[in-house]
Each structure stands twice: as structure tokens, then as C-alpha cells.
Structure 1
Amino acid sequence: MKTYLNFTFKAKAYTLSVCLLLLSVACKKEQTDEQIKQALNSNTEKLYKGYLKTAYQYLDSIDLDKDKEINQNFFIKSRKYFKKSEPILSYAEKENYKSLNAPNLIRIQEEDPTDIKINQPIGYQVIEENLFNDSLDTIVVKRAINITSGRLKLINNNTHIKLKDYHMLWLLKDAIVRLATVGLSNFDSPVLGQSLKESSYTLQTLKELLTIYKTEFQNPELYNNWVEEIDRSIKFLDTDFDTFDRFEFIKTHTKNQISLWNKTVNDWGTEFPFEMALSNDFELLFSEKLFNVSYFADYKSDTVYLKQKVALGKQLFNDKNLSINNHMSCATCHDKNLAFTDGKKTFNQHQKRNTPTLTYAGLQQAFFLDNRAGSLEGQIVGVVTNHNEFDSNLDVLVKKVKTNKKYIKVFDSLYTKKVTDANIRHAIAAYVRSLNKFNSKFDNNINGRENTLSVTEKRGFNLFMGKAACATCHFPPLFNGTVPPNFTESEMEIIGVPKTNKNLNLDDDLGRYELFKTEQRKGMFKTPTLRNIVLTAPYMHNGVYNTLEEVMDFYNQGGGAGLGFDVPHQTLPFDNLNLSEEEIKDIIAFMKTLTDTPEEVY
């Protein structure tokens, strides 16, 4: 007994000492892990702040009383370091980044009709357009320089980097997608046309960040693959803007970067706490898997996105009994054979505006041609209550659905709150959000599934993304105005559309202006998708043009202002395009490749 007790005591003492030792080791490991994280964040912060500081120092060196070329050189250097800060700045300071890099256009906030804010633009594009213009607006450029520099200093002084691994991976993903969708066009550099060079600056920063995080890689070869891919990408970008092969860059280099990103997620053993607009496990840029569809849904819905809800939504979408007189369904005006348009110049009973496609509509943040609805679910309310459409209300809608026992049974199985107007709208919206196939000839070629794109079609895509500046408003991969990589804003433009295709008079539909009577938004409409454009004629908000040739001629002449109309707030980033007939044909050939293939499409 004594031996046993002695043994027990010794065993307990040994166990205690082992536990203390393990605890000590664990604490040291935890401390070491924490020290590693602190070092990673410290080095990232040092890199980031260095770029910000250099950027505002060069801005502060601009003296408008001195030599113009010297000032331009200071600007170019400042812009370089701003772009080198971009991967971190755009992730950590989304709104500030948007202001600092925004087009030279007035920014308007119209959430409340009694409190409309009209803000003059600031940032690098404002400075660029003034410094490199024959006539210099000293007051405007001084204001832009002072505010831009001050904003950079404020960000620099208030930055304390505390990133987890998944933050860094999100940051890398955003940068990859931004470069391919926005960076390869001249969206950021409309005057100097420095987008390719600036894209290389972004890639250099990604390389430096990965070097900081080199110790996180379990597989050293993966890190080396990153470095090699970034070096190859930078080398590929070192070419003339007009001749740059954007198709090949995205097909090869963007695809490689996304593949490396996914491998890094696995290598780091990263688990993401949630998803934003971009999915955490996509493999291709031109793919429905790029998007987290639920991000675009109305959060009031009581359960998540399910295929069964899509099927229910399809039934409701095609059910004429939901309208007040049982004469109209959603499909009445949105024919699946016409990419969910109606083929008419304007909707019959609403003689002002063309019926937009519903394909890819679910991957945007605002609805109707004037962006007056903030979600698909909200847009459906407008249809239900419109006198020229369902001519009903939400209470009647619920009653009509409840008269159908099959509907009741399905709603009971799919929704916690059963049949409610919110759930009816959510089901229909779920169906619309399924209309994103990404299986066009263009998608299949750029994703490497087939090799059928002609030289003309590839050249058309490169012109679309480059010289023709189409992609500065119609952003890939959706080719609409929803801005990547965050997809939080669906842009509107003022382009000066004529009343008839004879191009003699400006159309009298004032678009967004009708909502809040904001002068600067007269004639402003949402930028639609160009996907399935072959099926969605006639074109423009009023169906004024019957052919893509007419549309291209309108843009080539410089929009409404180029036609001689009074369009003081036109937002097109050019006076005219100076495209040849052959170049126009190439762009049209490319747009025709954006048609979804018919295999059980809808």
C-alpha cells in the first residue's frame, strides 16, 4: 500500500512536471506564433506606410509656380507609389481608396431627397487631367493636391496593421481580380495611359508581401512559383498599351495567379470566417463560381439560397395568376429565348424605356434603368405595384400564392415563415440569380475549355479592353457597370442618347434625375451588361438603335456631345474613339461571342 501510494505520488508528480513542461512549451510556441504574426504585420505596415509617405511627399513637391515638366514628373512618381500602396490601401481603406482613385467626375449622394450631397472630385485622376492639360485650372488642382495629400497623411498616421492570414489572402485575391478587370484598361489613367506600367507596380507589391509572408509557406516551392509567375506577368505587361494582348494575359497569367492563390489557401491551412462578393473557392475569373450569390441577396430572407428555391422561383416567375387580372407574369416581358428581354423598342404600356435583360442581373447592386431599387427583392415590389404591370400590391400577391396548395406545401418546406411577400420575392429573386451561366464561346475560350475564338474576335476583346475604352464602363467579367473586385456599386453614366436613330435630337427621358431632381444627373442611366447582347436588341435605354453597328458609331463619334447635343455632365472618358471600320467590326465580333450557349440554359 505504501509502495502504491509512493508510486501514485511519483506518478502524479511526474504528470504534473510533464504538464508544466508542455504548458511551458505551448506558451513558448504561442508566444513565438504571436511574435511571428507581429513581425508579419510590422513589416507589412512598414512597407505600406513607406509607400504612402513617398506618395504624399512627391505630391507636396508640386509647385504650380514652377516648371510644368518638373511638376508632371513629381506627379508620376507620386502616382507610382500610390499604386504600389494600392493592394493594401484598397483593402483596408475601401472608401478612401475609391475617392483617391476616382474618375474626375462629381460625386453625388442621394439617399435622402432632403439631404443631397454633391461633392467635387479629388484624387489622382483630377490632378492628372489638370497637370497634363494645355490649360491648367490652378484652383482645382491645388485643392485636389492638398486634399489628396492630406488624406494620404491621415491614413498613414492612423494605420495599425493587424492582419490575419485570411485577410492577406483576401487582399491578394482582390488585387488579382482588380488588375485583370480594371487595371488592364485605362480606367485609372485616362490621360497618361499608364495602366499597364501601374499594374506592374501592383504586382511588385504583391511580390514584396509574399516575401514578407515567406515563412508562412509550408511548401517553399509554392512561394517560388508565386515569384516566378509575378515576374513573368510583369514582363508580359512591358509592352505598348494598344497592342497588349489582354486575352492572353488573363487566360494564362490571371488563371495561374488564381490557381496559386487556391494552393496557398490550402498550404496555409486557412479557414475563412465568411464570404464577401467574391467566393473563397473560385478557380476561374469568368465563372459563376467567382461569386458568392448570397452576398447580392436581400438579407431579410429567412433562409439561405437553395436550388429548390430556384425551382420555386421559376414557377412563380412564369405564373400569370400573380398579376391582378391573371394576364401577366414576369416572363411576359422577359422572354428566356431573348435573354429575358422582349425584343421591343420599349415596354408596350410604358413607352419610355426598353426592357433590360435579366441574365446576370442578380450580380449587381441596383435595379431598374435608373437604379431606384437596391435589390432584386425590392425591384419585384416595383413590378407588383406598377399600374402598367402587375397592377397589384404585396397583400394580394400573398393571397394569390396561398390559393395554390402546391405553392403552400413548397413554401412550408423551404421557408421558416412560410408564405410571406418577402419569401415570395426571395424565391423569384433566387431564380433570377441563377441566370448567370458563363458558358458563352468567349468564356469557354478564355477558360481554356475550347480553342475556337478567331483572331478577329480576340482582337475585338483587346480593343474593347484597350483602345476603345469600353471596359472603363462595362467591366469584365460581367461586362456591366458593377465595379470589381468588391461589386458593391453599380455605376450609372450620362452618354447623351438621341431620341431617334437619325441622331438629330437628345432624348427627353432624364433618367435618374426624375428621382431626386439633381441637375448633374440629367440623362443618367445604369450601365447594362453586354452579355447576350446579340439577343437583346434594340439597344440603349429607349431602344433607339436596332444594330450594334449603330451603337458603335454613336460611341465612336463621342456620344451625345460628339453628335453636337448639349450634355454638360457627359461621363464618357473620351471625346471620340477614332476607331476604324475594321476595328469596329472586330469589337462587334467579340461582343457576339458573349451569348450563353443553349444547353438547358434557363
Structure 2
Amino acid sequence: MKSQFNYTKNIILTILLAVTVVGCKKEYKSLTVQQSLLADVENLEQKINDFQAVTEQETEQEKLNQAFTNARLAYKKMEWAVEYFCPDPARFINGPALDELEVAENKFLPPNGFQVIEELIYPKYNLQNKDDLIREIKMIKANLNQVRQTFTVITISDDYVLDALKMQVNRILALGITGFDSPIALRSIPETEVSLIALGNSISILEYKDEISKKLVVLCSEAAKYCSSNSDFNAFDRVHFIKNFLNPISSNLIAFQQKNKIKAIDKNSVVNPNVITIFEKDAFDVNAFTPSKEYKYTPEKVALGKQLFNDNSFSKEKSRSCASCHNPEMAFTDNLKTNTSLKGGNLPRNTPTLTYASLQNAQFWDMRQLDLEKQSSDVIQNKEEMHGDLSSIVAFLSKDKAYNKLFMNAFPKSKKVEEWHVQNALASYVRSLNAFDSKFDQYMRGESNDFTNEEKQGFNVFAGKGKCATCHFIPLFNGTVPPKFNKTEHEIIGIPEHKNNLKISPDMGRYVQHEMPQLKNAFKTPTLRNAAVTAPYMHNGVFSTLEEVIDFYNKGGGVGSGITVENQTLPSDELNLTQKEIKALVAFMNTLTDQKYLD
């Protein structure tokens, strides 16, 4: 009763804020974004209280599901603002249902929030989970109080609202419609509907009343109606939805911002705040992944790095360059299961493509280095790969007149060649390998209509029933998590040691560095761009074709295939993809190949 009283009181206060009494005449003013959000907080709190009451009193599945759904929808209404202005409590309200590694402290943080709750009550609620369920609900309530406090004290200016809304469009595209945060209940499309209504309402609250703002409100409304009429998760046409709704909303947000001279906020340093869609060639800034400003990408560094990349002088026997394993003609792979070491044996891991490698927050399969600079020195000095010595390399380069000229062009403020110059130049060359000119890119940007029905079906399977996009995030198709792209994920999927056997690969992956049980057999989620031309696949090159990879996932990964995997992060249930869907999925993945690698 007290909660209901507080809720009613706060709603009344919110309404009073919007009413100015002039004599006996009432002049009604629109709610501000801030007032609207505070009302949304009260609404969510009420739905959470209702959910808790149902949990404490009921065991009936349908009532639990409905109470949970009501609470999640209330959150989705304000998700755009909570995720943007309150990222820390947002993680505990609706973070992924997986332990989160804090590398600096070498510890895991347990998951909390709606996604954990979904696993507790779907597909069938077990009464033994009641205490855990109530604890998660209380955790959401505690973090909701932090959200309320934040919304009460901060200034929410129009420029930040626009930036948050642009980020929300990308969140809907990459996480919302793919089932990322509703993998079991599959309520992603109705939740997207609510998110879009909230986006339109937020635009309408702003004081700018022009044709573009009206168009945005209409677009959001039509997109929401499309979701309402096409709510089935597996059947949802994501290609149509992105092309006809999300991309136009994104481009009109930019037009609205420019017309009304609202400054662009560069809060998300990875994504260019002025691009009309996330699919543009210049959407991503590689400098956001560099260690610091002096490592900034330049054409001069790229020219130097390309020459260094192809120079055999760095290896101990002067017989191997970076290009020896990362062949530019093979999309910077070697098409081998694993390459050979300097001593003639096999290296333990498959050579990954360097294309789009710069758009990750960790390098190597085991993610042991955080940037490309450290990656290059790691390889050069590795006894099995190049067995070089950076100090000796610097001494050699300093005596070479041609190289000296290139170094002075690349690093004009320096008077001599230094080790970090070598690392930065090599890394800069790798940062130049992001073409974003595949058939998929051109179609999404509207530069081409060449996209077959089978390819469209394949994308819809990829981002829907196949759940591929919940790990290989659109549009980078790697494990760098949108919409902020400030974290790159690993997965444990249970890769076999050999094809068709029931023994997991003995490679411990990230566990070697951190020795935590959650990291046994954990490997970075690689990009699927150029996957069609970079076989074989997985960290050990165990699968030769895309069809074999899809078959493995279709069965439920290692566990679904009969392999013992204690900590698999991939759902182990079958995907039940048909042969037609598998064929379409392969056709779509072929559209991710850069133009230069096509026959």
C-alpha cells in the first residue's frame, strides 16, 4: 500500500510540474525529457513491485511470465536513457546473463537483472528458484533507485538526448532485434516496439517542431506498428526492417540534428557521431582502439607499416615476415589448419585474418594483448613464430637510409627510430585493412540493390533463428559489443580436438593467462567478415567449410554434439535449422567478402 501511495504521489508531482496556474486559468506545458524519464522510473518501479508480489504469492507460470513481461516492457521504454546516462546500474538491471571478467582485478562479476530472471522462469519455472528470483528483483529495485537519483540531478540537454537516441537505434539493430537480451522468451520484437515508441515520444518532447521531427515521429510509429504486426521472432524480416525503418530513422536523426544546429556529442568515441547509418564506410574510428593519441593512424604510418609487414629481416633467420602467415592475397590468412613454426613443427593455433582486426579490444585467440601494438611485438619476439629482437631490429632500421626517410615521414617529431615506432607502424597498416565494401555493405548503404532473396533469408536466419548475431554482432560481425563497442567478448563453445570426435580441444585459451575455471577453453569471438575466403575455421582450424561450422552450432555446440563441456556459454539446445536455411545462411556469409577477394 505504501508503495502504491508513493507511486501515486510521484505521478501527481510530475503532473504538477507540467501545470502553471495563472490566476484561475491553467496553462498546460509539455513534460520535459527529464520529467518524462522520472515518470518512467516510477512506472517501472510499480511493475517491479507487482512482479515481486506475484513471485512471492504465485507459482502459476502464465502469471509470472506476464508480470515479468510487464516489467521488461517498462524498462525498454526508458532503456535509451538508462543505458546512456546510467551505465553502471544498467549493467545490474539488464546485463548479459554471463559472468563478466574484470581483467585488471583478475576476477569475475556475477550477472544480475532481467536476463538472469528470464533464465530462472523460462521455459518453465522451478519453485526452487524462488529465493534467487526475489533476490534478483530486489537487485533491480536497488539499482533503479540509483537511476532515479541520477535522473533527478543531471542536466539532460538536447545534444545528449540526440546522441543517446542515435545509440539506441544502433542498440535496437544489433541487440534488440537479434534476441541478445531475450534469448529464451524470444520477446525481442514486442520489446523493440516499445523502444521505438519511446524514441518517437522523446523526439516529440523536444521543442523543435519542424518537418524532420514530424517525419521522425511518424517513422518511429510506423516501425513500431511493423513490429506489432510481425511479432514472431523467427519470421521477422530484419532486412526489410533495417532498410525501411532503422536506417531512415538513423539518417533523419542526423538531418534533424544538423537542421537545428544541435552539436554532435562524441561520447561514444568508436562510432563517428555524424554518420547517417552504422553501415557507412567511415562509421568506425580505428583511433578509438589505439593505446593513446601519439599512436594515431596516419597514411604515412600505413606506408611504413606495409613495408615492415613484408620484410623478412625481423625473423631470426631472416626467412619469415608477417606476410608469410598473413598472406594479403588470402585475406591476410594462410588457408592452413595451423602454420608451421620456425623449427618445423605445427603452431598450436589457426592464423586468423587481419582484416577488421583493428576493431577489437583484444588480440590473439586467447585475447592476451589489448591492442595491435602489443600484438606485433608479441609475434616478432615469439620463438616459434619469428624469434626476432626489437632492439636489434631498431638498430638495423636506423642504419637503412630508405627506412629512415619513411620513419621521419611517419614520426616527424622524433629524431631517431624507436621500438614503439615499429609497433605503431605495423599496427597502423593492419588498421588500414577495413574495406567495408562487401556486397552486404553496399546493399545496406543503398549503393546497390543486388541482394538475392536467398541472401536476405540468410541474414534473417543469422540475426534471428540461428542466433549468430548474439555473438557476432552486426555490423562488425565480431565479438566487439555494440552500441559502445568498448568491450570484446569471448565464448566457450566446446570445439573438438579433431573433426567428428567427442573430445574437447586441449587448448585452454584464456585460462592460461587468468587461471579461472570460467575461462577454460574460452576464445575470442572473431569477425565473420571475409569468412568465406578464410577457411579453415576455429582456433585449431578443425572445420574446413562453413557448412561444418553451421552444423556444429545447429547441434548445440560441443555439449549438443556429445562433448563434455562444463562451462559452455553457447546454448546447448538444437537450433533446428533446415537445409534450406543452412544454405541461405552460407549464401549470406558469402556477401561479407570484401570486393578485392572476390573471384
When normalised by structure 1's length, the TM-score is 0.88
Give the drift of 1:489.
0.8
Amino acid at match of 1:476: I
Checking the alignment, whether the CA contact within 8 Å between 2:219 and 2:249 is kept in structure 1 is: yes
For residue 109 of structure 1, what is the aligned residue in structure 2?
102
Give the drift of 1:77.
0.7
For residue 170 of structure 1, what is the aligned residue in structure 2?
163
Structure 1: where are the runs of 5+ without partners? 1-37
Q: Quote the Cα distance in structure 2 between the aligned partners of 1:76 and 1:574.
A: 25
1:401-412 equivalences in 2 (<5 Å): 401-412=397-408
For residue 394 of structure 1, what is the aligned residue in structure 2?
390
**Pick from 493, 501, 514: which aligns with 1:516?**
514
* SS of the residue 2:297 aligns to: coil
1:347-386 equivalences in 2 (<5 Å): 347-349=339-341, 351-386=347-382
For residue 529 of structure 1, what is the aligned residue in structure 2?
527
Give the drift of 1:172.
1.2
Checking the alignment, whether the CA contact within 8 Å between 1:48 and 1:88 is kept in structure 2 is: no
Checking the alignment, whether the CA contact within 8 Å between 2:314 and 2:321 is kept in structure 1 is: yes
* SS of the residue 1:108 aligns to: strand
For residue 500 of structure 1, what is the aligned residue in structure 2?
498
1:430-445 equivalences in 2 (<5 Å): 430-445=428-443
**Pick from 566, 569, 582: which aligns with 1:568?**
566
Distance 1:212 1:273, change over 3 A: closer
Checking the alignment, whether the CA contact within 8 Å between 1:52 and 1:153 is kept in structure 2 is: no
For residue 184 of structure 1, what is the aligned residue in structure 2?
177
Moved more, 505-514 or 391-400: 391-400
Distance 1:396 1:174, change over 3 A: same
1:26-37 equivalences in 2 (<5 Å): none
* SS of the residue 1:542 aligns to: coil
**Pick from 214, 220, 224: which aligns with 1:224?**
214
Give the drift of 1:600.
12
CA deviation profile, 1:282-326 (whole Å, cap 9, x unmatched): 123223311122111121x52632222222221121122223332
* SS of the residue 2:108 aligns to: strand
* SS of the residue 2:101 aligns to: strand
Structure 2: where are the runs of 5+ without partners? 1-29
Give the drift of 1:51.
4.6
The structure with the largest alpha-carbon Rg is 1
Amino acid at match of 1:333: C
Q: Quote the Cα distance in structure 2 between the aligned partners of 1:288 and 1:451.
A: 17
* SS of the residue 1:289 aligns to: coil
CA deviation profile, 1:142-177 (whole Å, cap 9, x unmatched): 222221221112322343231333212210110011
Checking the alignment, whether the CA contact within 8 Å between 1:84 and 1:205 is kept in structure 2 is: yes
1:281 aligns with 2:274: yes
Q: Quote the Cα distance in structure 1 between the aligned partners of 2:161 and 2:143.
A: 24
Amino acid at match of 2:300: Q
For residue 235 of structure 1, what is the aligned residue in structure 2?
225
Checking the alignment, whether the CA contact within 8 Å between 1:233 and 1:253 is kept in structure 2 is: yes
* SS of the residue 1:460 aligns to: helix
1:211-360 equivalences in 2 (<5 Å): 211-213=204-206, 215-216=207-208, 220-238=210-228, 239=230, 240-272=232-264, 274=266, 276-299=269-292, 301-302=293-294, 304-349=296-341, 351-360=347-356
1:75-86 equivalences in 2 (<5 Å): 75-86=68-79
Moved more, 535-544 or 574-583: 574-583
Checking the alignment, whether the CA contact within 8 Å between 1:52 and 1:156 is kept in structure 2 is: no
* SS of the residue 2:55 aligns to: coil
Amino acid at match of 2:315: S
* SS of the residue 2:385 aligns to: coil
Amino acid at match of 2:359: L
CA deviation profile, 1:252-283 (whole Å, cap 9, x unmatched): 21221121121122122133464611102212
1:425-504 equivalences in 2 (<5 Å): 425-504=423-502
Q: Quote the Cα distance in structure 1 between the aligned partners of 2:465 and 2:295.
A: 46
For residue 27 of structure 2, what is the aligned residue in structure 1?
none
Checking the alignment, whether the CA contact within 8 Å between 2:503 and 2:564 is kept in structure 1 is: no
* SS of the residue 1:497 aligns to: coil
Checking the alignment, whether the CA contact within 8 Å between 2:201 and 2:217 is kept in structure 1 is: no
**Pick from 125, 129, 132: which aligns with 2:119?**
129
Give the drift of 1:223.
0.9
Q: Quote the Cα distance in structure 1 between the aligned partners of 2:282 and 2:495.
A: 35
Distance 1:41 1:456, change over 3 A: closer
* SS of the residue 1:118 aligns to: strand
For residue 12 of structure 2, what is the aligned residue in structure 1?
none
Give the drift of 1:574.
4.7
Q: Quote the Cα distance in structure 2 between the aligned partners of 1:65 and 1:469.
A: 35
**Pick from 414, 418, 426: which aligns with 1:417?**
414
Amino acid at match of 1:118: F
* SS of the residue 1:64 aligns to: helix
Checking the alignment, whether the CA contact within 8 Å between 1:324 and 1:391 is kept in structure 2 is: yes
**Pick from 570, 582, 588: which aligns with 2:580?**
582
Give the drift of 1:595.
0.6
Distance 1:469 1:274, change over 3 A: closer
Amino acid at match of 1:380: S
Percent identity between matched residues is 38
Distance 1:438 1:495, change over 3 A: same
For residue 98 of structure 1, what is the aligned residue in structure 2?
91
Q: Quote the Cα distance in structure 1 between the aligned partners of 2:50 and 2:275.
A: 39
Q: Quote the Cα distance in structure 2 between the aligned partners of 1:110 and 1:131.
A: 31
* SS of the residue 1:288 aligns to: coil
Amino acid at match of 2:385: E
Q: Quote the Cα distance in structure 1 between the aligned partners of 2:289 and 2:425.
A: 14
Q: Quote the Cα distance in structure 2 between the aligned partners of 1:107 and 1:410.
A: 43
CA deviation profile, 1:394-414 (whole Å, cap 9, x unmatched): 322322321222222232233
Give the drift of 1:459.
0.4
For residue 149 of structure 2, what is the aligned residue in structure 1?
157
Q: Quote the Cα distance in structure 1 between the aligned partners of 2:45 and 2:546.
A: 48
Distance 1:51 1:295, change over 3 A: farther
Q: Quote the Cα distance in structure 1 between the aligned partners of 2:303 and 2:565.
A: 45
Checking the alignment, whether the CA contact within 8 Å between 2:312 and 2:321 is kept in structure 1 is: yes
Q: Quote the Cα distance in structure 1 between the aligned partners of 2:389 and 2:133.
A: 52
For residue 4 of structure 2, what is the aligned residue in structure 1?
none
Q: Quote the Cα distance in structure 2 between the aligned partners of 1:330 and 1:555.
A: 32
Q: Quote the Cα distance in structure 2 between the aligned partners of 1:599 and 1:183.
A: 32
What stretches of structure 1 move > 6 A for 4+ residues in a row? none
For residue 61 of structure 1, what is the aligned residue in structure 2?
53
Give the drift of 1:393.
3.2
Q: Quote the Cα distance in structure 1 between the aligned partners of 2:77 and 2:57.
A: 28
Q: Quote the Cα distance in structure 2 between the aligned partners of 1:490 and 1:263.
A: 31
Moved more, 65-74 or 507-516: 65-74
Amino acid at match of 2:56: L
1:201-220 equivalences in 2 (<5 Å): 201-213=194-206, 215-216=207-208, 220=210
Checking the alignment, whether the CA contact within 8 Å between 2:81 and 2:164 is kept in structure 1 is: yes
**Pick from 537, 540, 543: which aligns with 1:542?**
540
Give the drift of 1:52.
4.3
Q: Quote the Cα distance in structure 2 between the aligned partners of 1:575 and 1:600.
A: 35
Checking the alignment, whether the CA contact within 8 Å between 2:313 and 2:321 is kept in structure 1 is: yes
Task: Work out the number of aligned pairs and report it.
Answer: 557
Checking the alignment, whether the CA contact within 8 Å between 1:57 and 1:78 is kept in structure 2 is: no
